[in-house]
Amino acid sequence: MSDLPRKAVTRTAKLAALPLGFAGRSAWGLGKRLGGYSADLVGHELQQRTAEQLFKVLGELKGGAMKFGQALSVFESALPDELAGPYRATLTRLQEAAPPMPTRTVHAVLEERLGQGWLELFEEFDDKPAAAASVGQVHHAVWHDGREVAVKVQYPGAGEALVTDLAQLGRFARLLGPLIPGMDIKPLITELHNRVTEELDYALEAEAQRAYAAEYTGDEDVLVPGVVHQSDEVLVTEWLEGTPLSAVITDGSEEERNRAGELLSRFLFSGPVRTGLLHADPHPGNFRLVTDGHEAPERWRLGVMDFGTVDRLPAGLPSTIGTVLRMTLDGEAEAAYELLREEGFVRERIELDPDEVRDYLLPIVEPACVEEFTFSREWMRKQAARIADPRSPAHQLGRQLNLPPSYLLIHRVTLSTIGVLCQLGATVRMRDEMETWVPGFAPDEPEEAVGAESREEPDEPAYEETSA
């Protein structure tokens, strides 16, 4: 693996290999079956080969390709069991690792952005990357004042790679359907494309991370590393030690997985209220379970990284979300329908049955109907099948609804978080979290209720950046 492949023709050819490779392996599988091999055996080998190629291409290319792969990884819980195994093992590798950038390239970026004497800023610097993400990789180091830090270095050509990849993936969207059956891939690619600029801007990322770090300082449940230094293409933050959420998903006890699910839900809903921002990249690679020496999971905290993609919500989550969900639970179908129409979820020229709309929404809010709810891959698959099956009434009604642009990212983040909760198999008191943090959801909520203050433009936090 040399430098990040930047030529559009090279990257396009590699991405084109995904659907073409799938078609070729399907033909190979048919030949094997005609030759007398077991359909089950051939099918498993076909899926494994596809999964391995998926990791190799998306991980190698990084950029938009890897970002797309990470976004897909949280939805593996919606796959049927016979498909989930190969994809689960392969896609979750995208959450924690990817082929590294050469050391010479890392040093060149650091010298260009931090100066020729960049190494003097550190007491120690590990050339071997601790993690590799979609637009940059992270190195463990010790800052000149003795603090352990994470040094995030952006890949040269990452911007071009992001734009090129997502444009090509958009063209291949229909052919990529077999990789994740039942999922509409094109809107996901479009939304990722719309966030390209923010993902590359480390100044914006540092600003968002400072806001979160300041708000959650001393918090019992959430830990956000502070920003130590930031320049173009380099971001230095405090080092976060902990157990990767992906490891809790695969090896955690029931108690540990439940605690992880509780913390993840709390972070999702509390963030917009407390900071005016929504962390919009909830794949497991961005979270750690921090024990602080405590063996009991109830004392663990959720460590959060990577604030490159956020939704700016100075008023917190729109109160329409909580109000419509509460009306749905309380059987107020007509009122919920009218509010959805006012907000643009139902277009003016469309007329729908309010009771049918409520029936469509009820299974989605099922986790908030009970005191505690156990998320599972089985439940996720049931929901995915209900909405994806063209023969189902839910699918037909869903096609007539509209998702206003201002809700697109909120929708994706919520679905992604639910996907991770299903991977965890966590039991969560979702209703309590929503009543505490989601404006409009608490029963008989007064006008000046939870989150009311956050619905005003927050003051700029006072920070003093440590300069190099």
Query: So which residues are the catalytic ones?
Result: 281
Q: Which of 314, 311, 265 is nearest to 408 (CA)?
A: 311
79 close to 382: Cβ distance less than 8 angstroms: no
Q: For residue 135, what are the β-bridge partners?
A: none
C-alpha–C-alpha distance, residues 124 and 139, integer Å: 11
Q: Which letter does DSSP use for residue 300 in this model?
A: -
265 close to 302: Cβ distance less than 8 angstroms: no
C-alpha–C-alpha distance, residues 33 and 46, integer Å: 12
Structure tokens at 29: 């599988």
Name the residue type at position 174. R
Q: Which of 27, 381, 379 is nearest to 182 (CA)?
A: 381
- C-alpha torsion 9→15→17→21, nearest 10: -170
Q: At what angle do helices 408-424 and 254-275 cross, to 10 degrees?
A: 160
107 close to 125: Cβ distance less than 8 angstroms: no
What is the bridge-based pairing of β-strands 148-154 and 136-143? antiparallel
C-alpha–C-alpha distance, residues 292 and 212, integer Å: 20
278 close to 413: Cβ distance less than 8 angstroms: yes
